[in-house]
Amino acid sequence: MNYSLILLCAGSGKRTGLKYNKIFYKINNQTVYEMNISHFLEDNRCKQIIVVTKENEIEDIRHLVNDSRIEYVFGGKERQDSVYEGLQKVTEDYVFIHDGARPYVTKQSIDDLVECLKTYDAGLLMVPCKDTIKEVKEGIVVKTLKRETLMQAQTPQVFKSEDIKVAYQKAKDEGYVATDDSQLFERYIDKDIKAVLGDYSNLKITTQEDLK
């Protein structure tokens, strides 16, 4: 089953303490960007890679990896704006949306997401919460949530392209802001989203600790 990929690389390195975009950070002599995109370059089901980048960084990114499937689009002010811009370029029936700062996704996870598309029109990687989660309001614990029903969302998240395009357009028209892509699908598309078991190693590089 073929798909397009939107790889979000228009972020920054502020919370990591870096003075540059964290996708250029090197781990074992390879940039986070190269590590990340390699998983999809090796997958012949990935027919299109849309890299969302900053205008002033596009040449630096181009020089790192060269492949005929890669095209570029400039990101927006927020993540949601960047995904919207990427969706305008999607040509395949299904699209993976993935954070550029999450370079440890496994081939197994990609395979599992593709497999879920045989039955569902949307899916995302998730892992069970390890810690007890409590709802807190104004610094006061309100209640303890049932840990066995809670999972942490990761990326990639995968969708039928026409559905997620509709969801993003409706959100744009309403001015609705979500924290991830599946939240928009939940709100605007009356279809199930498959929770695909991910891997705890699929970390997103967010803080200085994540660079170690």
Q: Give the mean model confidence (pLDDT) for residues 47-64.
A: 96
**pTM for the complete prediction?**
0.95
Residues 117-135 pLDDT 10s: 999 999 999 999 999 999 9
Banded model confidence at residue 210, pLDDT cuts 50, 70, 90 = confident
Which residues, listed in sequence order, are joined to residue 157 by a DSSP beta bridge? Answer: 97, 124
Please say whether the beta carbons of 4 and 94 come within 8 A: yes
- pLDDT at position 211 is 81
- The pLDDT value recorded for residue 11 is 82
pLDDT interval class at 157 (50, 70, 90)? very high
Examine the pLDDT at 14 and tell me if it is beyond 80. no
**158-184 residue pLDDT tens:** 999 999 999 999 999 999 999 999 999
What is the per-residue pLDDT for 208?
83
Does residue 13 carry a pLDDT above 80?
no
Q: How far is CA 100 from CA 135, 138, 147, 152, in A?
A: 30, 33, 29, 18
d(CA 99, CA 141): 32
Q: What is the pLDDT of residue 207?
A: 86
Share of the chain above pLDDT 90, in %: 92
Average pLDDT, the chain: 96
- Residue 122 half-sphere exposure, CB side, CA atoms within 13 Å? 18
* Residue 95 neighbours by CB under 8 Å, 6+ apart: 3, 4, 5, 6, 87, 158, 159, 161, 164
